[in-house]
């Protein structure tokens, strides 16, 4: 894949950008934003044998994120899912920084910051200035308009979405989302990258919520309404859905796992974009978010959790 190499000014300003190669394997990936999703993407990419650059706002947050990744891998060792040597190998391929300029050395750049269009817009514009014209930018957005983001750059054909699901290292699915001007070459390159990660790809054309978010949100919202109306307890609702529909996790624990603030953002965005009442956030969700009870990452949401995210 392409590195950040100097180019003549006519190459940078001209209409004919260099051809992309879809045969090269991805070797070095930047992840911007090391929250729950960003850390999971980092771990999954490194575990598949690629080098990863994790970028955060400052060194303290970057180091804390690395500590969480180490703790996650330690739990995998306790479960006998990986060995100590595999843990060391995964960590050896992850580098963290607070210097955005370092992403210029990466083959592709994945954005995994907050689900806020303005923040993503500013980031994409800065990346567009920094990176080689051939570098592909990937957004992990769940609901926002990729085409509008792409229009803020000079590489609309090289903007694409990859919607990972939590926990990223374990969920075999990834949605690859085409923006209006995403090229076939970009799609094929990113599809090959997803296959390097061992993921099954579902191709999605841009629409609010894509497939997984749009389908799951009404179920999460309805489960919250059932709880609010006193029809069953949180434990009862999750047990009914797990056993009745062969789900590995009930809708309320799933909401806690995603993060209640994130779920709330999804609902607000879909309600605004589609105008359907089924996406309007349940009042109990709004209450928990106001109280800072955001699920597993804060230790309490619909359920309470210990420091390793297990229900107590």
The per-residue pLDDT for range 183-217, each reduced to its tens digit, is 999 999 999 999 999 999 999 988 888 899 999 99
Distances (CA, A) of 43 to 31, 100, 174, 198: 11, 20, 15, 13
Predicted local distance difference test score (pLDDT) of residue 20: 41
Angle at alpha carbon of residue 30, lines to 24 and 34, rounded to 5°: 145
Query: Mean pLDDT, to the nearest integer, of 297-312?
Result: 90
Mean confidence (pLDDT) of the chain:
90
Quote the percentage of the chain above a pLDDT of 70.
92
Question: Given a cut of 60, is residue 19 above it in pLDDT?
Answer: no
Closest CA to 180 of 143, 137, 146: 146
- DSSP annotation of 295 reads B
Q: How far apart are CA 305 and CA 150, in angstroms?
A: 39
Q: Give the number of residues written for the chain.
A: 312
Identify which of 176, 117, 188, 181 has the alpha carbon closest to the alpha carbon of residue 154. Answer: 181
Least confident of 6-10, 217-221, 300-304: 6-10
pLDDT at 14 over 80: no
pLDDT of amino acid 209? 83
- Tally of CB atoms within 10 A around 61: 15
C-alpha Rg value of the chain to the nearest Å: 20
Higher pLDDT pick, 153 / 24:
153
Asked whether the predicted pLDDT for residue 296 surpasses 70, the reply is yes
Higher pLDDT, 266 or 4: 266
Please give the Cα distance from 15 to 12 (Å, whole number): 8
Decide the pairing of beta strands 159-164 and 173-178: antiparallel
Percent of the chain residues past pLDDT 90, beyond the cut: 78
Strand arrangement, sheet containing 51-55? 94-97, 51-55, 28-32, 108-111, 136-139, 159-164, 173-178, 200-205
Question: Does a cis peptide bond (omega within 30 degrees of 0) precede residue 167?
Answer: yes
Whether the predicted pLDDT of 156 surpasses 70:
yes
* Counts of helices then strands in the chain (DSSP H, E): 12, 8
Going along the chain from its start, the domains and CATH numbers come out as 9-205 (3.40.50.720), 214-290 (1.10.1040.50)
Residue 165: which residues within 8 A CB-CB, separation 6 or more? 171, 173, 174, 212
Residues whose CB is less than 8 angstroms from the CB of residue 86 and which lie 6 or more positions away in sequence, other chains included:
47
The average pLDDT across 135-160 equals 92
Cα 129 to Cα 294: distance, rounded to the nearest angstrom = 35
**Is residue 45 predicted with pLDDT exceeding 80?**
yes
Cα–Cα distance, 142 to 298 (Å, whole number): 22
Residue 167 confidence (pLDDT) above 90: no
pLDDT at 234: 97
pLDDT tens-digit profile of 236-261? 999 999 999 999 999 999 999 999 99
Torsion over CA: 194, 195, 198, 202 (sign): positive
Tell me, what's the pLDDT at 24? 59
Q: Model-level pTM?
A: 0.81
Q: Inform me whether the pLDDT recorded for 17 exceeds 50.
A: no
**The predicted structure's pLDDT at residue 309:** 79
């Amino acid at each position: 894949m392409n590195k950040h190499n100097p180019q003549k000014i006519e190459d940078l300003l001209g209409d004919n950008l260099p051809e992309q190669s879809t045969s090269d394997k991805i070797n070095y990936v930047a992840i911007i934003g090391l929250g729950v999703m960003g850390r999971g993407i980092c771990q999954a990419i490194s575990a598949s044998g690629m080098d990863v650059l994790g970028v955060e706002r400052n060194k303290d947050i970057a180091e804390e994120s690395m500590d969480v990744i180490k703790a996650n891998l330690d739990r995998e060792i306790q479960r006998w899912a990986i060995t100590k040597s595999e843990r060391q190998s995964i960590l050896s391929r992850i580098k963290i920084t607070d210097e955005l300029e370092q992403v210029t050395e990466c083959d592709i750049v994945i954005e995994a910051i907050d689900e806020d269009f303005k923040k993503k817009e500013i980031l994409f514009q800065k990346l567009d200035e920094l990176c080689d014209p051939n570098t592909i930018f990937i957004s992990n957005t769940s609901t926002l308009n990729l085409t509008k983001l792409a229009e803020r750059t000079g590489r609309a054909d090289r903007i694409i979405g990859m919607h990972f699901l939590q926990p990223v290292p374990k969920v075999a699915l990834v949605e690859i989302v085409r923006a209006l001007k995403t090229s076939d070459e970009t799609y094929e390159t990113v599809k090959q990258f997803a296959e390097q990660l061992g993921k099954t790809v579902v191709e999605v054309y841009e629409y609010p919520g894509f497939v997984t978010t749009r389908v799951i949100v009404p179920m999460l919202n309805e489960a919250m309404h059932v709880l609010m109306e006193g029809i069953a307890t949180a434990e009862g609702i999750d047990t009914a859905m797990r056993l009745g529909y062969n789900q590995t996790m009930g809708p309320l624990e799933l909401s806690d796992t995603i993060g209640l603030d994130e779920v709330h953002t999804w609902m607000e965005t879909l309600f605004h974009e589609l105008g359907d009442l089924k996406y309007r956030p349940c009042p109990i969700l709004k209450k928990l978010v106001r109280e800072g009870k955001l699920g597993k990452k804060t230790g309490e949401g619909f359920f309470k959790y210990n420091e390793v995210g297990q229900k107590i």
